[in-house]
Amino acid sequence: MNAFLGLGSNLGDREQNLCAALAELGKIPGMKILQTASFYDTAPVGYAEQPNFLNTAARIETSLTAHALLSAAQDVEKKLGRAETFRWGPRLIDIDILAYGDEIIDTEDLHVPHLELPRRGFVLEPLCEIAPDFKDARGGQTYRELFAAYRSIPADNNCVQTNTPEDTAVLAQRIAKQLRPGAVVALNGELGAGKTTFARALVKSLGNTARVVSPTFAILNIYPGQIPVYHFDFYRLRGAADVADIGGAEFIPSSGGITLIEWAEKIPEILPENYWEINIDVLDEQGRCFKIRRY
């Protein structure tokens, strides 16, 4: 039986953890690793206040049943020192069964193909590298098609509803993959809509490990990283003695960075001709509606 495994680590020496896990998996009787993907540095999903993950995927051939394979993977996790953690929390090593041939398995302890597969770019990208034309048993789409759908951004002003922190993180990752150095993103929404929360997820998805705080009490927060991020609140900027005196248009960075602006009433004149506008509407305690436009 051909199967696919997803591996991730965000504690300790992440690369060594993945290599050790693959080595241990290769020792299991009745299992052979046929191919492994590159290692991908990815922002965490669901709980943002933790280090980035390093993820990969492996195609294997096995004579083990799906549940025996699950048990073997869990034994490897324990052998390498994985400790119990909360959902979406940090982990030394994580091994998931992503697909088991063309079978669909839904039991209390195992769901294959993985139920969240279409929404997990950190899984789809390595799968696309090693098996782009393999079809997901649940939806019949290839991994290439699933990854393309994951990366796509809805048409202008169509509502993208999020109901959990994981949904928001996934949307941020999709947008981050579309942003290029020099991009400007204007976030709009009432107090408490989640502008800074979304900014935090976006900064993480851009490869920046800094802790993102509200710009309300600072004119400008700068987060250096793989792509520098300049984060400020237009209300705070507008409330300064004179916009020109504190930089004005110079707050828009050079082509090497991304600017995130939180604002509430209208787009300030300092925005360039080309930018992203994201309006966040509150639906209920957790639910949000994101409307995205690109100018």
Residue with tokens 């949000």: 288
Q: Is 94 a catalytic residue?
A: yes
CA distance 288 to 262: 16
**Cα dihedral 182, 48, 173, 189 sign:** negative
Q: Is 138 a catalytic residue?
A: no
Catalytic residue among 14, 59, 96, 288: 96
Q: DSSP assignment of 198-235, as one string?
A: HHHHHHHHTT--SPP--GGGSS-EEE-SSS-EEEEEHH
Helices (H), the chain: 14-26, 66-79, 121-130, 143-151, 165-176, 195-205, 234-238
Q: Is 82 a catalytic residue?
A: yes
Catalytic residue among 14, 59, 91, 120: 91
CA distance 142 to 22: 25
Q: Supply 271's token pair.
A: 């925005």
Q: Is 91 a catalytic residue?
A: yes
CA distance 148 to 259: 26
Catalytic residue among 14, 94, 119, 174: 94
- Distance from CA of residue 201 to its chain's centroid? 8
Catalytic residue among 14, 41, 59, 82: 82
Residues taking part in catalysis: 82, 91, 94, 96
